[in-house]
Structure 1
Amino acid sequence: MIATWCRSASVTANSFAESEHESCLLNSAPMSRRSATPTREPQRRSPSQRRSRERVATILDTTADLVVADGVDALSTRRIAEAAGVPVASIYQYFADKEEIILELVKRDTAEMDEDVAAAVGALDALNVRSVVTATMRAFLDVYARRKEFVAIYFHGRSNRAVMEFCREHNEQIAASLHAVMWEAGLLTEDADLARGRFAVEIGDRILEQAFRDSFTGDQRVIDDGIELLVGYLERFATEAGRSGVRRG
């Protein structure tokens, strides 16, 4: 579920409401115009009802299409609203600005990546360094093919600090998860600590950045060479099982 968003500026109910049932929550206490007591900022709505969830999905899907077509820099909340066929006020019910929309789009896409990576690694009959690295990279590539907006945001338009921070933390989570899988399977020696796992993920990130720098399809030669580079690095710290493989079940 999308988190409740808080805006920094105070707004009136009419700025947000489309109907009596969709108005924002405002401070119910009366306040005179000259009062020095600040009003409570309106609380960003969480899309709990089906119509609200569908509207948020429409906003995100429309934003994705615009980012792919025109790039991140051309994006604006007004343009998103026009393309989505919704009032601008409807967007501000859920998002403070276009940067929050972009961040939510990235969160949606990375959640899909996590699911695909888990499924790809979980489907392996045998685990070794090469199979885990290859399955992980291929899972990322499958999502990039479906979610071109992520490529546009992350590789072509790195201007959103919140997105960069979120992706940095996401890379650390990926490193921890993959390190745990390979360690528990007996694929790594004691020299392969989590710091080296993080380094490997950062290498993978730079490889994909290079591969997708100029296109949405990626340079296959860079991808293939990058996988070999990653495998070679991690096999320096692999056990015999990490090289030859451990069958599951």
Structure 2
Amino acid sequence: MTDHSHLSRTLRRQPKQQRGKKRVEKILDAAATVFDQVGYEAATTHQIAAQAGTAVGSLYQYFLDKAAIFKAMELRHTERVKAFWAQMSTPEIIQLPLRQMIHALVTAAAELFEQPVSRIVFVQFYTAREIFQSIDESMTQEAIDFLASLLHQRNLALSEARCSLLAEVCVHSSNAVILSALRNPDLAHRQQLMHQIEDLLVSYLGPHIGDSRVENVMNVMICPHCQSSQVNKNGFRRGKQCYLCKDCGKQFLETVCPG
């Protein structure tokens, strides 16, 4: 998914040059600032244009009204979140020691919410749900599914139901702390709250996907035919994870792996 794939569909006019694309991004960031300062209801397109340093006529070239701007912000945030999930779903991240893995997740999330558009969209979702046009509760469920997948990959012995339950607790508790952090004007305290998420998740998940658990998973992920550890996931069969050995080319299910 490119950074402009879905957003481009909401624009009245497609920016063809880099200058136009930068102007659209500037308008979205300006809108985030204005919504933060005066609220969505009180904000006007003239205020947004002034904050962006552009004429209101230029704003209307791309956006029909304030609602269209906010919808574009929703789509921009969604694209960034999905890019974040893809970035965090690599074996290099999943197989890190637990503290390092959680640190990578929390750090990437903090960087995501440093962007004005994502910060405001996240806060507004919990304070003014009625203005949203594309984001709904299904995105929270996607976040739970994303984390549940990571948990299962770290400990294949955990059932899907257990992974989903653990992930649900992690997502909802993390979102509550993130919301508190993003609404706090004190940057230092905001950073402290984000760091507490790391401690919270490490403590909660340690008994289920701690480093000893990862060692067991690594033993499982060995080809039973040639004993190679160079294996890739290759879909599911009969409800079990299937692997493909890169060395011998044979496939196997997790239930027949040694360990």
* The one of 200, 213, 232 aligned to 1:229: 200
Q: Which runs of 5+ in 1 are unaligned?
A: 6-43
Structure 2 counterpart of 1:97, one-letter code: D
TM-score scaled by length of structure 1 = 0.64
Distance 1:116 1:56 in 2: 22
Deviation at 1:142, TM superposition (A): 1.7
Deviation at 1:205, TM superposition (A): 0.4
Pair 1:47-2:14 in alignment: yes
TM-score scaled by length of structure 2 = 0.62
In the superposition, relative to structure 1, how do residues 132 and 112 fare at CA in structure 2: closer, same or farther (>3 Å)? Answer: same
Q: Point out which structure has higher relative CO (alpha carbons under 8 A, 6+ apart).
A: 1
Q: Give 1 or 2: higher strand fraction.
A: 2
Instruction: Give me the identity figure in percent.
Output: 20
Kept in 2, the 8 Å contact 1:155–1:212? The answer is yes
Partner of 1:138: 107
* The one of 26, 30, 33 aligned to 1:58: 26
Decide which moves more: 148-157 or 175-184. Answer: 148-157
Partner of 2:76: 108
Partner of 1:199: 169
Kept in 2, the 8 Å contact 1:144–1:151? The answer is yes
Question: How large is the Cα RMSD of the aligned pairs?
Answer: 3.7
Partner of 1:17: none
Kept in 1, the 8 Å contact 2:181–2:193? The answer is yes
Kept in 1, the 8 Å contact 2:30–2:51? The answer is yes
Distance 1:163 1:133 in 2: 30
Kept in 1, the 8 Å contact 2:154–2:209? The answer is no
In the superposition, relative to structure 1, how do residues 71 and 242 fare at CA in structure 2: closer, same or farther (>3 Å)? Answer: farther
Query: Aligned pairs, how many?
Result: 210
Partner of 1:9: none
Deviation at 1:133, TM superposition (A): 2.9
Q: Give 1 or 2: higher helix fraction.
A: 2
Partner of 1:10: none
